[in-house]
Structure 1
Amino acid sequence: MKNIKIVSLAACMVWMLSLMFFTSCSNDDSESVYSGAPVIETVSKSGYDEAGNLLPSTPATIGDPKNYYIIHGKGLSTTTKIYFNDFDTYFRPTFVTDTDIVVLIDEDTPYADASNKLKVVTQKGTAEFDFMIAPPVPTFTSFNRINAAEGDLVTIKGKYFLNPVVTLAKTATLPAVPVTVMSSTLEQIVVKIPANANRRYLSVANISGSATAVEAIGTALYDEELYGVQWGGPWAGKGVNFAFTGDAYQGEKSWQWEFGQWDGGNWGFNIDVTPYKAMRIAIKGSKNGRVNFNINGGANYVLNVTTSWVYMEIPFTELGNPTNISMLTFQESNGDGGNTVLFDDIGFVLK
């Protein structure tokens, strides 16, 4: 990518030098030079794409930050200021002719609640042009609740949700399905879950791209509460809080377990896991440590605990290849007096 940017800048410089040479020759042959207020006729992207191909000079109305663009018009030679969405944008005076300017759109240019205007200020006036700045590709942090049913309102969290379009993501056998957006901000969307959404992934798109949730709808074992548990509890009979609100990886709550040294617990279920290939879990401790974890009393899988949230996916091949879960076991195993551990986003990963 760095080499592409260098090549792109070099191409711009060569292009501008040839353009200025051509312009000067044209001016020598012309009886008159445009002397009115500036005019912007087109804007087009300049440089090379990621494959190293020269970009065509195609008129554009949307610009991507950190990319070069050519402003084409007339009366531009005395340019003093360039603004994208009223953001004062640096430009090289050597990249300016009377008909063209090559300018880099700054990465800090605002894209939301903006004027959607390009302004070029010259000594003879100001030219405006309708031009939108694209937001970054959205990021999808979480959605709550994961085990949502038809008609439920679900909150999606992330970034860059400018005019978001939400769908149930396309699969190998099913098309994308539109999801109704009830409200949205740049960092949060509330949607209404459509029919037949179980084991489908939510996806959010803006004009720049899309992002898809890690978790599929209906695949949670713990998300604000423990689902499907039939029996069990901690061996010491205490220390478990399924609705801890002090910290969470996903949603608003986590499962807090104040383990005594070598303490643990068993929890009984009856879950068919044949649609899945792995378990997922997020874990965090008040100190570094270890928790032994197993399915149906099989071999232990060590969950390494740190003081930051760690998300992991554990293939069923590491857990005895179960087709059904009848029991989950957790045991603090650091041997140094116990630990307070938070669990969240426990569930399954689709095949």
Structure 2
Amino acid sequence: MKNLKIYNILSLFVMASIFLISFGSCSDDDAQLAPLKIDSVSKAMSSSKPVNPAHNDSLTSVGYAGVMYIIKGSGFSGLQKIYFNGKESYFNPALVTDNTIFVTIDQNTPFENVSNELKLVTKGGTVVYPFKINAPAPVISRASTAFASPGDIITLYGDNFVSIKSVKFNNTEAEIEGTPTRYEMRVKVPADFGTYGVVVVETEFGVSKPSSIGVKYLFYGDSLPSWAYDWGGSYDAQSTENVSRGTYSIKKVAEPWSGFFMNSDLVLDTADYQLLKMSVYSTESTKIFITINSETGNTSKGTTVTLIPGTWNNISIPISDLHPESLDGGTFNNVFIQEFSNIPLTSDNIIYIDDIGFL
């Protein structure tokens, strides 16, 4: 793949050289007489082998950030600036003749509430050309919750949520609540949603990569999978004081280095999962240790997670960080959580734990 990218880059420069030779044969006197104008814009393609300039004449009036285009016209000698919708794009002077410009549209070029114009500034003047920048495909960066239930209203965060065609959970279309912005939208989880789903946003400009929500196996939702024990404090497995989702959460009054162990009658195989997910709220603690190994005192068989006190922390831990190679047959049936901040804590320090599951 790396060699292919290098080949494509080299192809573009070879192509550019061909254009420059073709259009750069004018004399200096001719260049001075040429009027400043833009005749066309086309996307720079490099798929042909060898590169054929004729394959780069796909004219367009619409562009995308991060893509190279060819601007054709005249009077480009002495080019100083190139703007798309008021955002300057860098150009290589070696790829400019009086008749041709190769330029890649800047990645941060705006596409909302803009002029839809391409502007060239040269020593001899300025020219403006109608040219629209389309939004890139939408991107989902995260959801407001790691878990969801049918009917829940959740917020999706990301970018390019414009001209939305649909939002789907496992191929079921979700209802959009309110008016989305470019960076976030609120949606209602469909009635047929189970414990796990793939969320996809489609706009007029493309489809997002799938983003997951929920888990394949819910270890703790509102009740313990089987039995539990703790030390260094106390716990309530069905507390209503502070809940991330559902009715209950686990309330652990946590002294320094105190622990909480949960066991399940169901044996799970690490090969079936990629992530351990949970939501944790601490009043003071800044770090916890987590393992799925019954050797709870061996910290080399688990991992630590940093917490932000005073808010729900939606945690996703790769199964590989929990060292499945240390488990007999890669199977397990427990989750252990230990206070690990190594800081002074008051007797009122509480860790709330909710929605433990495996994806």
Give the TM-score range, shorter chain: 0.5 to 0.7
Among 186, 193, 196, the residue aligned to 2:192:
196
Closer/same/farther in 2, CA of residues 159 and 346 from structure 1, 3 Å limit: farther
Q: Give unpaired runs (5+ residues) of structure 1.
A: 170-175, 323-327
Letter in 2 for 1:211: K
Tell me how many residue pairs correspond in the alignment: 321
Distance in 2 (CA, whole Å) between partners of 1:14 and 1:154 is: 50
The structural deviation recorded for 1:83 is: 0.5
Shift of the alpha carbon at 1:231? 8.9
The corresponding residue for 1:93 is 93
The answer to whether the 8 Å contact 1:38/1:126 transfers is yes
1:162 & 1:124 partners in 2: Cα distance? 35
Q: Which residue of 2 aligns with 1:347?
A: 357
Q: Give 1:86 deviation, angstroms.
A: 0.6
Change in 2 beyond 3 A, CA 1:290/1:20: closer
- In 1, the alpha carbon distance for the partners of 2:111 and 2:215 equals 31
Shift of 1:87: 0.7
Distance 2:148 2:267 in 1: 16
Match in the other structure for 1:325: none
Judge conservation of contact 1:181–1:190 (CA < 8 Å) in 2.
yes
TM-score normalized by the length of structure 1: 0.66
Q: Secondary structure at the match of 1:260?
A: strand
Distance 1:155 1:59, change over 3 A: same
Partner Cα separation in structure 1 for residue 42 and residue 241 of structure 2: 54
Measured in 2, the distance between the counterparts of 1:16 and 1:38 equals: 20
Q: Which moved more, 1:102-111 or 1:260-269?
A: 260-269
Distance across 2 between alignment mates of 1:76 and 1:94: 12
- Indicate conservation of the 8 Å contact 1:156/1:189, yes or no: yes
- Residue 131 of structure 1 is matched in structure 2 by 132
Counterpart Cα distance in 2 of 1:255 and 1:115 = 54
Q: What secondary structure, in the 3-state scheme, does the structure 2 residue paired with 1:39 have? A: strand
Following the alignment from structure 2 to structure 1, what is the Cα–Cα distance between the partners of residues 155 and 265? Answer: 29
Distance 1:329 1:92 in 2: 57
Alpha-carbon deviations, 1:230-268, whole Å to 9, x = none?
A: 9978654358877669xx9x9xxx967443367445669
Q: Which moved more, 1:16-25 or 1:328-337?
A: 328-337
The reply on whether 1:312 has 2:317 as its aligned counterpart is yes
Alignment of 1:134-213 (within 5 A): 134-135=135-136, 138-144=139-145, 146-149=147-150, 151-164=151-164, 165-169=166-170, 176-182=171-177, 183-198=179-194, 199-205=196-202, 207=205, 209-213=207-211
1:283-333 CA distances to partner (integer Å, 9 max, x unpaired)?
778466634557xxx77695422435762255896444x7xxxxx664538
Alpha carbons of structure 1 residues 312 and 116: separation in structure 2 relative to 1, 3 Å: same
* 1:210 maps to amino acid: S
The CA distance in 2 between the partners of 1:290 and 1:346, in whole Å, is 15
User: Equivalents in 2 of 1:184, 1:280: separation in Å?
Assistant: 31
Q: Which amino acid aligns with 2:222?
A: Y
Alignment partner, residue 214 of structure 1: 212
Q: What's the counterpart of residue 222 of structure 2?
A: 227
Identify the residue that residue 108 of structure 2 maps to in structure 1.
Answer: 108
1:125-176 Cα distance to aligned partner (Å, 9 max, x none): 4131222154476143224373321x4422112344344442224xxxxxx3
In structure 2, do the counterparts of structure 1 residues 94 and 220 end up closer, same or farther at CA, with 3 Å as the change threshold? same
Q: Gaps spanning 5+ residues in structure 2: where?
A: 308-312
Other structure's SS at 2:94 match: helix
How far apart are 1:53 and its partner, in Å?
Answer: 8.3
Is contact 2:146-2:214 (8 Å) kept? no
**1:95-140 Cα deviation digits (max 9, x unpaired):** 2233321012223333444333322234354131222154476143
Secondary structure of the residue aligned to 2:234 is coil
- Kindly report the root-mean-square deviation, in angstroms, between the aligned alpha carbons of the 2 structures: 5.0
Identity of aligned residues (%): 21
Return 334-343 or 284-293, whichever deviates more: 334-343
